[in-house]
Amino acid sequence: MDILFYILGSTFLISLLAFIGALTLFFKEKLLDKILLILVAFSAGALIGGAFLHLIPEAIAKVGPEENSLLKIFLYLLLGFCLFFVLEQFIRWHHHHATRHP
């Protein structure tokens, strides 16, 4: 029965976080500009955390203790990081201020 409460509690907290993310649509532009970079960093950290805590250990368990297979997994991981780095260099995010003329 305790597991059910943990499941329901964590589902409620995750849903609450998603709802808070939806509320950002109603924030003023100045406030949104201040917190947008923090929210993007949080979401990137969540994706990386999901990969490191769930996907990579599962891939290691699936291939077994073979040395070549582990090397392949970590080479693909390194290739993914390099690919995202190169992609970020080509698609740069620049902060621009919009000038409004009367």
* pTM for the predicted model, two decimal places: 0.50
- pLDDT range class, residue 94, cuts 50, 70, 90: low
Specify if 11 maps to a domain: no
Specify if 53 maps to a domain: yes
- Please give the average per-residue pLDDT across 68-73, as a whole number: 85
More confident residue, 40 or 97: 40
Specify if 17 maps to a domain: no
Specify if 33 maps to a domain: yes
Q: Which domain holds residue 60?
A: 28-90
Write out pLDDT tens, residues 15-62: 888 887 788 778 888 888 888 888 888 888 888 888 888 888 888 888
Specify if 69 maps to a domain: yes
Cα separation, 36 vs 42, whole angstroms: 10
Specify if 12 maps to a domain: no
In this predicted structure, what is the pLDDT of residue 11?
A: 92
Identify which of 54, 53, 59, 91 has the alpha carbon closest to the alpha carbon of residue 75. 59
Specify if 36 maps to a domain: yes
Specify if 23 maps to a domain: no
- Number of domains forming the structure of the chain: 1
